[in-house]
C-alpha cells in the first residue's frame, strides 16, 4: 500500500441478512391459535365423526399463513447504494436472501442491477431497482420516495456507492478530486440525512457506511479517495452521536483489498507485493464484507454497537 504501484489496485479496497420474526410473529401466531380455540367443540365433534385429520390440516395451513403474513409485514426495508456489483451486490443479495425488502441502487449498470433484483426474487425475497446518482440531492430524494411508495418505510441504509480517480497529488486535477468527494462523501451525507428523517419518526434504524482502510492509513496516489473515506469515518461517528437518542445505530466498515475485476487483472509480481502486506495472505471476498453488513443490520447482538469502525482487511491494519 505504500507505493504508487499499488494505487490502481487500491481501487479494489472498499470501492466499488433473515431478520428475527420477533414478538409480532408470535403474537399473530397466538392470535391464530386463539381464533381456532373457540371451535374446540366443533373439532371434538369432528374427531368423533372421523374428520379430525382434515380439520387439523386446515388449522395448520391457516396458522402457517398467519406466520408468513406477519413475517412479510416485519421484513426490514433496506436501501443499498452502488449495489450492481462488488461489495454492494454481495450485500444486496445477502440481505435479500435473509428476508429483507431491498432497493438496489445503481448509477449506470442497469442490466447488472436488474440481475441482482431477479436473484433476490428467485430466492423468495422482494427487490426493486433504482437508477440514480447519490451525489445529487434530487436523485436521493427520489430514491427514498421510491422505497416509501413501495414498502412504506426504510429500516436500513447501506452507503456503499463510490468511485476512484487515482493519481499522484501533483498530477491530480480539481475535477478528479471533486468527483470522488462528491460521490464518496457528499453522497453518504445526502443519503444519511434523507434516511434519518424517516428513521427518526419511528425511533429505529441502522446505517452502515462502507469506508476503507485507506481512510485510516492513507495510500499513495489516492489523496481524493483517502480523504473521502476518512470523511465518511468522521461523519459516521458524529451521526452516531447525534442519533443515538433516537435508537439509530450508525457504523462504518473499512475493508482492505477485496477481490474484484480489477485485482484479477493485476500482474503476478504486483499481486505478490500486495499479498505480502496482508497477514492472512489473500484478498477478502465481497461476501465476507456482506456478512459483516448483515450482522450489523439484522442481528440483535449488534444493537449495542454504534459509532464504530470495523476493519475487515486480513490483518493489514492492527
pLDDT digits (tens, 9 = 90+) for 7-19: 555 444 444 444 4
CA atoms within 13 A on the CB side of 153: 16
Average the pLDDT over 203-209 and give the result: 98
CB atoms within 10 A of CB 277: 16
Question: What is the structure's pLDDT at 38?
Answer: 40
Average the pLDDT over 124-139 and give the result: 97
Distance of CA 301 to the CA centre of its chain: 17
248, 193 Cβ separation under 8 angstroms: no
pLDDT digit string, tens, across residues 89-104: 999 999 999 999 999 9
127 labelled binding-site residue: no
228 labelled binding-site residue: yes
Q: 83: left (phi > 0), else alpha (psi -120 to 50), else beta?
A: alpha
Question: What is the structure's pLDDT at 1?
Answer: 46
- Residues 106, 225, 243, 283: which is the catalytic one? 225
Domain ranges of the chain: 4-19+75-312, 25-68
282 labelled binding-site residue: no
pLDDT digit string, tens, across residues 276-289: 999 999 999 999 99
Q: Can you name the CATH fold of 4-19+75-312?
A: Rossmann fold (3.40.50)
Residue 31: band (very low, low, confident or very high) from pLDDT cuts 50, 70, 90: very low
pLDDT at 112 exceeding the cut of 50 = yes
Q: Judge whether 225 counts as a catalytic residue.
A: yes
225 labelled binding-site residue: yes
Percentage of the chain beyond pLDDT 70 is: 76
Question: What is the structure's pLDDT at 269?
Answer: 86
Average the pLDDT over 85-89 and give the result: 96
Residue 64: band (very low, low, confident or very high) from pLDDT cuts 50, 70, 90: low
Question: What is the structure's pLDDT at 36?
Answer: 34
31 labelled binding-site residue: no
Question: What is the structure's pLDDT at 61?
Answer: 62
pLDDT at 28 exceeding the cut of 90 = no
Amino acid at each position: 500500500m505504500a507505493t504508487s504501484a499499488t494505487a490502481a489496485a487500491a481501487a479494489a479496497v472498499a470501492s466499488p441478512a433473515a431478520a428475527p420474526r420477533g414478538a409480532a410473529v408470535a403474537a399473530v401466531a397466538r392470535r391464530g391459535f386463539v381464533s381456532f380455540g373457540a371451535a374446540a367443540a366443533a373439532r371434538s365433534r369432528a374427531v368423533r365423526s372421523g374428520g379430525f385429520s382434515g380439520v387439523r390440516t386446515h388449522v395448520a395451513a391457516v396458522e402457517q399463513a398467519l406466520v408468513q403474513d406477519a413475517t412479510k409485514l416485519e421484513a426490514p426495508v433496506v436501501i443499498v447504494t452502488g449495489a450492481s456489483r462488488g461489495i454492494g451486490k454481495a450485500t444486496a443479495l445477502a440481505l435479500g436472501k435473509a428476508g429483507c425488502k431491498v432497493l438496489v441502487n445503481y448509477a449506470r449498470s442497469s442490466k447488472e442491477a436488474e440481475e441482482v433484483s431477479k436473484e433476490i426474487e428467485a430466492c423468495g425475497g422482494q427487490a426493486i431497482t433504482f437508477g440514480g446518482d447519490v451525489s445529487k440531492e434530487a436523485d436521493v430524494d427520489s430514491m427514498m420516495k421510491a422505497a416509501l411508495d413501495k414498502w412504506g418505510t426504510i429500516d436500513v441504509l447501506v452507503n456503499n456507492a463510490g468511485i476512484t480517480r487515482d493519481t499522484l497529488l501533483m498530477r491530480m486535477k480539481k475535477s478528479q478530486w471533486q468527483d470522488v468527494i462528491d460521490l464518496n462523501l457528499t453522497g453518504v451525507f445526502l443519503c444519511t440525512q434523507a434516511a434519518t428523517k424517516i428513521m427518526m419518526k419511528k425511533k429505529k434504524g441502522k446505517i452502515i457506511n462502507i469506508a476503507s482502510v485507506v481512510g485510516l492509513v492513507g495510500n499513495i496516489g489516492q489523496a481524493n479517495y483517502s480523504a473521502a473515506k476518512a470523511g465518511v469515518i468522521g461523519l459516521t461517528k458524529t451521526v452516531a452521536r447525534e442519533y443515538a437518542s433516537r435508537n439509530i445505530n450508525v457504523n462504518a466498515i473499512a475493508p482492505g483489498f477485496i477481490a474484484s475485476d480489477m485485482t484479477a487483472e493485476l500482474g503476478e509480481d504486483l499481486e505478490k507485493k500486495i499479498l505480502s502486506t496482508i497477514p492472512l495472505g489473500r484478498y477478502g471476498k465481497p461476501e465476507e464484507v456482506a456478512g459483516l453488513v448483515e450482522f450489523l443490520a439484522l442481528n440483535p447482538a449488534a444493537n449495542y454497537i454504534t459509532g464504530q469502525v470495523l476493519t475487515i482487511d486480513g490483518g493489514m491494519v492492527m
